[in-house]
Structure 1
Amino acid sequence: MQWKTIFVKEMLEDWRNFKWIWVPLVFILIAIMDPLTTYYMPKILDAVGGLPDGTVFEIPDVSPVAAMMMSLSEMSMFGVVVIVAITMGVIAGERRSGVAELVLVKPVSYLTYITSKWAEKLVLVWISFIIGMFASWYYVNLLFGEISFSAFLQVLFFYGLWLSLVVTITIFFNTLFKVPGLVLFVTIATIIMMSIINQVFSHVLIWFPNNMSSHIGGMLDGNHVSGDLWGTAFVTIEVIILLIIASLFSFRGKEMAN
């Protein structure tokens, strides 16, 4: 009952803050921005007067897989920033204002407090992601060619795991810091550092979570879920579990120290 109460309270708070409206809309914009811009670029250039005489500008044909990967690429940049922004104060803000202490004296267990807030943000992110990518899938099929619905569902599942990891990393730093802005900065810095590590050691760290997008691209090209993609998914789930456990110990240590 305590877990459900906190979960519902978070849902209502996000509804009052219009997150259940603007976050899906932002995800739709992020997902369709690159495919639509790429497809309509020649018409856009013509509408603004075209190019100077003698200029040759050829836009290469874009495959359905490439168009879908454009959406995931934008999700990896702007989508991640949105996720961190809506999650950065979920615990840190309540710790700073003293609300967390009032909740925890009910008594509410630390695990209940953390996982209920984590789960609510996962629901918001997953629903927004699904809506955004469904819009992308519709336009990709309409403008570039067909991507099967089964392949689309696989994209949702595997890339959704990466976004779940982003939520979990943000929750973890929520338990370390009381300042939401600091949580935002450290989380983004951590994700950037993970990306750098992946670029340098990608030939060794084949199952590193940041490789999820490249493995998804391979899946779409080959119409086959590779062992590397399953391995990356497994490692990502393991990291999520470990971060939740680390969040529990971190939060409990901070609150007991206070």
Structure 2
Amino acid sequence: MNNMRTLFLKEQMEQWRSLKWVWLPVVFAILGMMQPLMMYYLPQIMGAVGSGGSEQGEAIADLMGGVNAQQVMAGTLSSQFDQLGIIILIVAWMGAIISEKNNGMLAFILTRPVKAWEYILAKWCSQALLAFISLGLGYFAAYYYVFLLYGEIEMTSILAGFGVYFVWLLSIISIVLFLGIVFRSAAVVAIIGAGGVIILELVSGISGWGQMFNPAYLSANATSIIMTGDTKGYFVGNLFISLVYIVILLALSISLLTKKSFHIGSSHE
């Protein structure tokens, strides 16, 4: 465990040096604030820039219909975090292993008395902590402005929605780390990771028991919890299988690292 703690602290230092602990929480805070502010002021903005003035703004407001606090908060997940937010996270995570693999640092670490599981879990926990803080800052910044502009949402729904959505992010972390073991190019990891996540999110709108096997369905359940206070069908199975996916991906990553079934060393070799 001492090795894992040392590797975890090393990861945290690297994240501070690369300023990920600065720009990633700031970006998510901005994304979180954008949805409630945009939804609230959009009619006034459109009315101000249009020729119809306040009448045009009122027409836009009527067209949008009565938007409540739950809809705006759920829209923050589906419109901000589930699109731009996840892509930003994948870009931030894509080089977590590849950079050390290509510059020879991974080969050096593996010559030390370090277990493969210590290395992988240290990486995973470090990325998970960064994601938790960044998502939490953006999520509760969104809730703060929703509360000010639209009204209160039951806190149990807010916290449950956050927890379910965070499990979805943990699944993405596991996928990206596994891809980092398999591939040598950060661009390939980003393309495959982002592409796979987008496909999973697109099919998550389809109803049926097959969604139990889609980790992106957790995002749909998070928005459902915020909107209605309840989950969609097959939620328990979906949550359990998603946790199993995480364990399997971590186990595969550890196995590949233990067997060194990948290219270690310079990318020019």
TM-score, structure 2 normalization? 0.88
Pick one of 48, 59, 65 that aligns with 2:70: 65
Structure 2: which amino acid aligns with 1:67?
A: V
Q: Retained in 2: the 8 A contact 1:83–1:166?
A: no
Structure 1: which amino acid aligns with 2:124?
A: W
**Post-superposition offset of 1:165:** 0.7
Structure 1: which amino acid aligns with 2:71?
A: A
Matched with 1:12 is 13
**What are the superposed Cα offsets for residues 1-31 of structure 1, whole Å, 9 maximum, x if unpaired?**
1100110011011111111111001011112
Matched with 2:199 is 193
- Cα distance in structure 1, aligned partners of 2:226 and 2:120: 36
1:224/1:195 CA distance change after superposition, 3 Å: closer
- Cα distance in structure 2, aligned partners of 1:239 and 1:8: 26
Matched with 1:169 is 175
**Post-superposition offset of 1:81:** 0.7
**Post-superposition offset of 1:65:** 1.3
Number of matched pairs? 257
Pick one of 133, 153, 160 that aligns with 2:139: 133
1:196/1:44 CA distance change after superposition, 3 Å: closer
Matched with 1:34 is 35
**What are the superposed Cα offsets for residues 16-75 of structure 1, whole Å, 9 maximum, x if unpaired?**
111111100101111221221111012212332454899643332211111011110111
Pick one of 106, 112, 117 that aligns with 1:106: 112
Matched with 2:267 is none
Structure 1: segments with no counterpart, 5+ residues: none
Q: Retained in 2: the 8 A contact 1:31–1:136?
A: yes
- Cα distance in structure 1, aligned partners of 2:201 and 2:223: 17
Matched with 2:190 is 184
Runs of 4+ aligned structure 1 residues displaced above 4 Å come to 52-56, 255-258
Structure 2: which amino acid aligns with 1:79?
A: G
Pick one of 162, 166, 183 that aligns with 1:160: 166
**Post-superposition offset of 1:130:** 0.6
Matched with 1:220 is 226
**What are the superposed Cα offsets for residues 195-240 of structure 1, whole Å, 9 maximum, x if unpaired?**
344345x323232222122222332343245663333222211111
Matched with 2:150 is 144
Matched with 1:48 is 49
1:54/1:7 CA distance change after superposition, 3 Å: closer
Structure 2: which amino acid aligns with 1:228?
A: Y
Matched residue of 1:209: which SS?
A: coil
Matched with 2:4 is 3
Q: Retained in 2: the 8 A contact 1:91–1:175?
A: yes
Matched residue of 1:206: which SS?
A: helix
Q: Retained in 2: the 8 A contact 1:219–1:225?
A: yes
**Post-superposition offset of 1:163:** 0.8
Whether 2:23 is the aligned partner of 1:22: answer yes
1:8/1:50 CA distance change after superposition, 3 Å: farther
**Post-superposition offset of 1:140:** 0.9
Pick one of 216, 230, 237 that aligns with 1:231: 237
- Cα distance in structure 2, aligned partners of 1:150 and 1:112: 35
Q: Retained in 1: the 8 A contact 2:182–2:262?
A: no
